[in-house]
Structure 1
Amino acid sequence: MKAIEIEGLSFQYRNQEAGYALEDVSLNVEEGEFLGIVGETGAGKTTLLSAMSGVIPHHTNGEKEGVVHVKGKPVEEYASLYEMAVDVSLVLDSPENQLFNLHVFDEIIWGPENLGLDREEILDRGNRALELFGLEGFEDRITYNLSGGEKQKVAIASIYALNPDIVLLDEPTSQLDPIGTEMVFEAIDKLIEEGVTIVMVEHKIEEMAKYADRIAVLQDGSLRRVDETCSFFLEGDAHGIAPPQVTELGQRLREAGVDDVAVPLTLNESIDEYTRLLQRRGIK
């Protein structure tokens, strides 16, 4: 069974004067996959996540065509966003908008408490989230005194405590520095290890190239291309999405006639490949 199935999805917001935010989008997300979604501002990325999470149509109204299935069930058949949160949860770009409690542990267990779970299960989920995301010792920390990366890790940990099969992330590192960004991607990597399906909108291509299984590009509300990450950046039209800098360097070396270089996607790959390249030329 697919984690998410979208067929012929079009959506126009109420009071939107002209055009669709999404137009005839069809896309499947496999269970356990990390799908990255890229595109310019206004391309429809957040709207697509809203449709996947059930925000459309349960919260945001407009003219909708097509179908969205989550774990084989049409989103309209869920009674509410509250019910959907058990299967699919959304992490926003600003963690401040998702933190409701004063202390970290209270924040992490807030979702399971609202699900009405018994106390032992709530505490087990909270402690597991602390351990998984490296937040031991943070239990009594004040959430609003945390760094940006720490806040986003807590937000992701609180989503994990709900035990959803699918996590959607809408530019979760947009307000973070490189250290905070790395903290968030390390947290996401933990989710991947747990078998959680990830769909992530993100502008930081280097990180997407490192972690994502496939890349989808949206342009003017339409899905232009979906491909495995390696093929997306190394083969065919990337529709204006610049590759990672280390990849671009490899491509330029190839264009300059350096045929024995393997074009890398990640920083670690580039260090290994460019070190070998220099060694083959007798440069240490």
Structure 2
Amino acid sequence: MAAIELEDLSFRYRNQRGEPALRDVSLTVEEGEFLGVVGETGAGKTTLLSAMCGVIPFHTSGDRAGTVRVKGRAVEAYGSLSALSSAISMVLDSPENQLFNLHVFDEVIWGPENMGFDREEIIERGERALRLFGLEGFEDRITYTLSGGEKQKVAIASIYALSPEIILLDEPTSQLDPIGTEMVFEAIDQLIAEGVTIVMAEHKIEELAKYADRIAVLRGGELTHVDETRAFFLDGADHGVAPPQVTELGLELSRSGVDGFRIPLTLEEATAEYAGVLRREGPR
């Protein structure tokens, strides 16, 4: 069973003029997959994720057509955002908009408390989330004194404590420096290891190239390209998304006649591959 299925999804916000926010989007996200979603500001990425997790139509109204299914059920069949949150949840771009409690542990267990779990399970879920994301020792830290990366990790941990099978992330590193960004992707890597399905809207292509299984492009509310990550950057398709710099270098080397190496997508791959090229080719 697919984690998420979209069939001919279109959406126009109430009082929106011009083209709709989404137009005839069809997409399947498999269980355990990490799908990266890219596109310019205003391309429809947030709208897409909002439709996937039920914010549209349960919270945000407008003209909607097509079908969205989560774990084989239409989102409307769940009846409410609360019911749907046990299957799919969303992390916002700004952690300040998603943190409600003074202390870290209170924040992490806030969701399970509101879901009505018994005290023993609430504590167990909170402690497991802290361990998974390297937040042990943060229990009594004040949430607003944390760094941006730490705040986003707490926000992701609080979602994880609900045990959803699918987590959506809407540009979670947009306000973070490189250290904070790496912290967030380390947390996401833990989710991947746990078998959680991930859909992330993100501008930082280098990180998506390292972690994502597939990449989808939205342009003007339309899904214009979807492919496996390596093929996405190497097959020469005109999708308008530049590859990581280490990949661009590999493509240039290949075009200039250098062979015997695998074009890298990540810095780690590049270190190994280009070291071999330098040993074989020598200085020129």
Band the TM-score falls in, shorter-chain normalisation: over 0.9
Q: Which runs of 5+ in 1 are unaligned?
A: none
Which AA in structure 2 matches 1:75?
V
Q: Could you tell which deviates more after superposition, 206-215 or 16-25?
A: 16-25
Distance 2:47 2:275 in 1: 43
Residue 63 in structure 1 maps to residue 66 in structure 2: no
- Matching residue of 1:105: 105
**SS at the partner of 1:27?**
strand
Quote how far apart the aligned CAs of 1:261 are. Answer: 3.3
**SS at the partner of 1:169?**
strand
- Matching residue of 1:180: 180
Q: Could you tell which deviates more after superposition, 17-26 or 160-169?
A: 17-26
- Matching residue of 2:220: 220
- Matching residue of 1:132: 132
Distance 2:228 2:119 in 1: 43
Distance 1:6 1:236 in 2: 27
Quote how far apart the aligned CAs of 1:263 are. Answer: 1.0
Which AA in structure 2 matches 1:130?
L
Quote how far apart the aligned CAs of 1:282 are. Answer: 4.2
Distance 1:188 1:238 in 2: 29
Distance 2:259 2:40 in 1: 33
- Matching residue of 1:248: 248
- Matching residue of 1:24: 24
Q: Which runs of 5+ in 2 are unaligned?
A: none
Quote how far apart the aligned CAs of 1:281 are. Answer: 2.3
Which AA in structure 2 matches 1:223?
L
Quote how far apart the aligned CAs of 1:258 are. Answer: 1.6
Which AA in structure 2 matches 1:40?
E
Contact 1:253 1:261 in 2 (8 A): no
Quote how far apart the aligned CAs of 1:262 are. Answer: 2.0
Distance 2:229 2:111 in 1: 33
Residue 170 in structure 1 maps to residue 170 in structure 2: yes
1:273 and 1:23, CA in 2 relative to 1: closer, same or farther beyond 3 A? same
Distance 2:18 2:216 in 1: 25
Quote how far apart the aligned CAs of 1:238 are. Answer: 4.5
Distance 2:267 2:279 in 1: 18
Which AA in structure 1 matches 2:10?
S
Contact 1:232 1:238 in 2 (8 A): no
- Which aligned pairs between 1:1-284 and structure 2 lie closer than 5 A? 1-282=1-282
Write the deviation string for residues 74-99 of structure 1: whole angstroms up to 9, x where unpaired. Answer: 01112211111111000000000000
Quote how far apart the aligned CAs of 1:236 are. Answer: 3.3
**How well do the aligned residues superpose, as a CA RMSD in angstroms?**
0.9
Distance 1:166 1:120 in 2: 24
Quote how far apart the aligned CAs of 1:252 are. Answer: 1.0
Distance 1:163 1:236 in 2: 39
TM-score (norm 1): 0.98
**SS at the partner of 2:109?**
helix
Quote how far apart the aligned CAs of 1:257 are. Answer: 2.0
Q: Could you tell which deviates more after superposition, 75-84 or 270-279?
A: 75-84
**SS at the partner of 1:67?**
strand
1:195 and 1:238, CA in 2 relative to 1: closer, same or farther beyond 3 A? farther
**SS at the partner of 2:250?**
helix
Q: Could you tell which deviates more after superposition, 94-103 or 237-246?
A: 237-246
**Kindly, what percent of the aligned residue pairs are identical?**
73
